[in-house]
């Protein structure tokens, strides 16, 4: 049975990347060592981390005045590092568009000397749209934080706000490399790797150099300046995860870069949204103008029927299709590595299920 | 050419473990998914992390009143987390036995509300022995921090101090699972994985439950209580690294557990120390009663000769034998997975080099 893995993360990886990793797992390029066994100070690994950075710079067209950091701790640690580094003694503005945005807000509020203000929110409506943002914000604010794609709720920012000198900080964990956002529209971009980049345990941070300040940070590992000055090698980085990211970046480049992969992502998402919209049984709980192309929740409106669908889908090889417990129903995460044929198979399965269960 | 990898970390892994990981890299136990693609909330991964914990508990005979945490950020992040969680508003005592101990001390000093006191040090003598410790310490101190094995300097504590109610906190990164220390002699043990446990990007913390307090921690990810309450799943953990650790723990068990592997480690180290002690060319810079069995520095006393040795050794397939820049000379890291035949090969090579270069 073919397995299609709709996991929201850690998520499906390109098969070609896994095969490459498998083929050199015991002997990286004739070194006689696994990548996992390479010293992070060796020229072997120096090449890997440099290549990973250069490929990401090329794919995202990252300007020279941005640093690329390979860190640990996930987006969750960035929820603290961002205000700690950028907003001590200042006001930090947040847009609350989902569960993860709320966690970012809560982490910022936990810091004594950061004044947190939520400038837009849509929680009252189960976060099923992107709220309208204010035209202007306090020009003395350290930043405006947004979550470009809301993994659980299935919404995404279609345009990035522009507040002049107040930089946009973005949690891009679930749609980095799956959109045509311009890096220069952001002050900081961060992303946990485990969706579109590689295995869990790696966090990518892209930060405009002038935002790497001299804030007093009592924890060296949480200081962007220390991490940037040491080119992500202040201590031992997650070497194998960085190697996997490099392989994924190479694969994205082969797919036609971000433009090429985004086109495929849009086609995959379009196919599923069409099936949902044309069905009498399935609906999308998300406002049309806010739809994510990477995380697509859908429901029947009947909890028992959702349950039946999920059970039969799982038995048919559709893994991790069950919706997040806070939303219910189903959720198909269609990251870059998710194959188009998996979407076709799901759409066919949905039609069959609808027919068998009293649908048209 | 056979490659022997003497890296101090990330270090050599058991070949059988790498082969196992390779064989199931694309399909974990018939799931149709790579371990890297498993949701961290799936029953597949729940079994992996539980097995890893149970195996470690068995190997180290960890008492029930200790929590085992699988975290990110390396020992370097623990340098901050330990005082942040255990010593705010208190005095924290440190033993300064090497470069890493100094980093731990410096991270603790960076915290405003922790009073750091170094109770013993040996820096004036290049850290080449373990200093005598005071008989008693301030009973109100939060803990006494030691580094059980000093990776760079090649020394190790042969006995663990006992200060009654003042717990011992140990950075055991470079000799966890390579000694017969008793967990109950410690309040906290932490270790970066990349020496005796698995790939870089995973940190193991073993902490006595009564030490997981209610300290005010402004960063959720740095709070032992949050991590413990969530069984290391507060956010997405480094899933593949935890899987690799599980495979390494299984392998250690097959080697006769910690007792079995430690016997082999002692034999490997003994063979190399004998060769050094019986040579007229090579010497150990470390006091005999403080010798590490996992990290063994040695020198000729002549920087040019060291350089020649390192160049010829590298050409002969001995990787990462060059000493740390702060010590010079050579350093052989003989972690659990380092094969005995690699030590034999090195000893033979050293004898040949000595003969060819004017030695006896």
pLDDT in tens, B171-228: 999 999 999 999 999 999 999 999 999 999 999 999 999 999 889 999 999 999 999 9
Residue A7 C-alpha, separation from nearest chain B C-alpha, in angstroms = 6
Name the pTM for this structure: 0.98
Residue B253 has pLDDT above 80, yes or no: yes
Across the range B94-113, mean pLDDT stands at: 97
Per the DSSP assignment, residues forming a β-bridge with B297 are B331
Cβ–Cβ under 8 Å, residues B287 and B273: no
Residue B192 contacts A, CB cutoff 8 Å: yes
Interface test with A, best of B28, B88, B201 (most A CBs within 10 A): B201
Long-range contacts of B225-229 (CB under 8 A, 24+ apart): B225/B85, B227/B69, B227/B71, B228/B67, B228/B69
Cβ A244–B36 below 8 Å, yes or no?
yes
From the list B192, B221, B319, the residue facing A236 with the nearest CB is B192
Residue B360's pLDDT is what?
A: 58
Residue A229 C-alpha, separation from nearest chain B C-alpha, in angstroms = 16
Residue with tokens 């030695």: B359
Residue B326's pLDDT is what?
A: 82
Residue A204's pLDDT is what?
A: 98
**CA distances, B274 to each of B130, B155, B160, B181, B206 (Å):** 21, 17, 26, 25, 35
Catalytic residues of B: 100, 171, 195
* Cβ neighbours of B23 (radius 10 Å): 11
* Cβ neighbours of A348 (radius 10 Å): 11
Cβ B10–A36 below 8 Å, yes or no?
yes
Q: HSE, CB side, 13 Å, CA atoms: give it for residue B247.
A: 24
Residue with tokens 């992303």: A191
The 10s digit of each residue's pLDDT in B69-82 is 999 999 999 999 99
- 3-state secondary structure (DSSP) of residue A281: coil
Residue B88 contacts A, CB cutoff 8 Å: no
Cα–chain center distance at B272: 20
Q: What confidence tier does B25 reach under pLDDT thresholds 50, 70, 90?
A: very high
> Tokens for B103?
């980093």
Nearest to B199, CA basis, from A17, A19, A34: A34
Distance CA B188, CA B84 (A): 13
* Cβ neighbours of A30 (radius 10 Å): 8
Q: If 0-12 CB within 10 Å is exposed, 13-18 middle and 19+ buried, where does residue B181 land? A: buried
Distance CA A191, CA A206 (A): 9
Distance CA B184, CA B96 (A): 23
Residue A240 contacts B, CB cutoff 8 Å: yes
Backbone angles phi, psi at B352, to 5 degrees: -65, -45
From the list A22, A32, A192, the residue facing B22 with the nearest CB is A22
Cβ–Cβ under 8 Å, residues B62 and B68: yes
* Dihedral sign for Cα atoms in the order B247, B248, B254, B258: negative
User: In sequence order, which residues have a C-beta less than 8 Å from that of residue A54 and are 6 or more positions away?
Assistant: none
Listed by number, the residues of chain B in 24-43 with a beta carbon closer than 8 Å to a beta carbon of chain A are 25-26, 31-34, 36-40, 42
Mean pLDDT of chain B: 97
The list of chain A residues with pLDDT below 50 reads: none
End-to-end CA distance of chain B: 28
Residue A214's pLDDT is what?
A: 85
Residue B250 C-alpha, separation from nearest chain A C-alpha, in angstroms = 18
Cβ B111–A218 below 8 Å, yes or no?
yes
Distance CA A277, CA A281 (A): 9
Distance CA A67, CA A186 (A): 13
Q: HSE, CB side, 13 Å, CA atoms: give it for residue B120.
A: 17
User: In sequence order, which residues have a C-beta less than 8 Å from that of residue A122 and are 6 or more positions away?
Assistant: A96, A97, A128, A129, A130, A131
> Tokens for A181?
């956002």
User: In sequence order, which residues have a C-beta less than 8 Å from that of residue A124 and are 6 or more positions away?
Assistant: none
Q: HSE, CB side, 13 Å, CA atoms: give it for residue A28.
A: 20
Residue A236 C-alpha, separation from nearest chain B C-alpha, in angstroms = 7
Residue B229 has pLDDT above 70, yes or no: yes
Annotated binding-site residue? B21: no
Cβ–Cβ under 8 Å, residues A297 and A327: yes
Distance CA B47, CA B40 (A): 10
Which residues of A are less than 8 Å from B13 in CB distance? Answer: 34, 36-37
With CA atoms as reference, the chain B residue closest to A221 would be B77
Distance CA A222, CA A101 (A): 20
Length of chain B: 360
Residue A79 contacts B, CB cutoff 8 Å: yes
> Tokens for A164?
């002049």
From the list B7, B192, B221, the residue facing A76 with the nearest CB is B221
Residue B214's pLDDT is what?
A: 85
Catalytic residues of A: 100, 171, 195
Cβ A18–B36 below 8 Å, yes or no?
yes
Residue ranges and CATH numbers for the domains of chain A are 16-254 (3.40.640.10), 256-356 (3.90.1150.10)
The 10s digit of each residue's pLDDT in B46-73 is 999 999 999 999 999 999 999 999 999 9
Long-range contacts of B345-352 (CB under 8 A, 24+ apart): B345/B2, B345/B4, B345/B318, B346/B4, B346/B6, B346/B272, B346/B313, B346/B318, B346/B321, B347/B271, B347/B272, B347/B275, B349/B313, B349/B316, B349/B318, B350/B275, B350/B279, B350/B281, B350/B282, B351/B275, B351/B279
User: In sequence order, which residues have a C-beta less than 8 Å from that of residue B174 and are 6 or more positions away?
Assistant: B8, B9, B149, B150, B151, B195, B196, B292, B294, B295, B333, B335
Residue B266 has pLDDT above 70, yes or no: yes
User: In sequence order, which residues have a C-beta less than 8 Å from that of residue A154 and are 6 or more positions away?
Assistant: A284, A285, A286, A291, A292, A295, A296, A297, A331
* Cβ neighbours of A55 (radius 10 Å): 19
Listed by number, the residues of chain B in 207-226 with a beta carbon closer than 8 Å to a beta carbon of chain A are 218-222
Annotated binding-site residue? B41: yes
From the list A3, A26, A37, the residue facing B7 with the nearest CB is A37
- Sheet with A90-96: list strands edge to edge: A66-71, A203-208, A188-192, A168-171, A143-147, A90-96, A114-121
- Which contiguous run of DSSP H or E holds residue A145? strand A143-147
């Amino acid at each position: 049975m073919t397995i299609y893995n709709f996991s929201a993360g850690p998520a499906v990886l390109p098969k070609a990347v896994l095969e490459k990793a498998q083929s050199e797992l015991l002997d990286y390029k004739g070194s006689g060592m696994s990548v996992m066994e390479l010293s992070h100070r060796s020229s072997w690994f120096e090449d890997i981390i440099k290549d990973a950075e250069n490929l990401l710079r090329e794919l995202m067209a990252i300007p020279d005045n941005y640093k690329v950091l390979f860190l640990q701790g996930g987006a969750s640690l960035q929820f603290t590092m961002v205000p700690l580094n950028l907003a001590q003694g200042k006001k930090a503005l947040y847009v609350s568009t989902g569960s993860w945005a709320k966690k970012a807000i809560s982490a910022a509020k936990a810091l004594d000397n950061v004044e947190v203000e939520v400038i837009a929110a849509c929680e009252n409506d189960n976060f099923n749209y992107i709220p309208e943002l204010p035209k202007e914000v306090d020009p003395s604010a350290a930043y405006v934080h947004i979550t470009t794609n809301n993994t659980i709720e299935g919404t995404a920012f279609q345009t990035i706000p522009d507040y002049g000198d107040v930089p946009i900080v973005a949690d891009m964990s679930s749609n980095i490399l799956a959109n045509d956002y311009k890096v220069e529209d952001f002050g900081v971009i961060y992303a946990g790797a485990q969706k579109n980049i590689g295995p869990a345990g790696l966090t990518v941070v892209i930060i405009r150099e002038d935002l790497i300040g001299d804030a007093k940070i009592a924890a060296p590992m949480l200081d962007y300046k220390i991490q940037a000055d040491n080119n992500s090698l202040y201590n031992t980085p997650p070497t194998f995860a960085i190697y996997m990211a490099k392989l994924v970046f190479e694969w994205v480049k082969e797919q036609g870069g971000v433009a090429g992969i985004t086109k495929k992502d849009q086609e995959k998402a379009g196919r599923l949204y069409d099936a949902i919209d044309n069905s009498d049984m399935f609906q999308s709980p998300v406002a049309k103008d806010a739809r994510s192309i990477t995380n697509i929740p859908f429901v029947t409106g009947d909890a028992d029927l959702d349950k039946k669908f999920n059970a039969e889908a799982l038995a048919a090889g559709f893994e991790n299709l069950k919706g997040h417990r806070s939303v219910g129903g189903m959720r198909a995460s269609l990251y870059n590595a998710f194959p188009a044929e998996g979407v076709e198979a799901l759409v066919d399965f949905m039609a069959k299920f609808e027919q068998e269960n009293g649908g048209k």
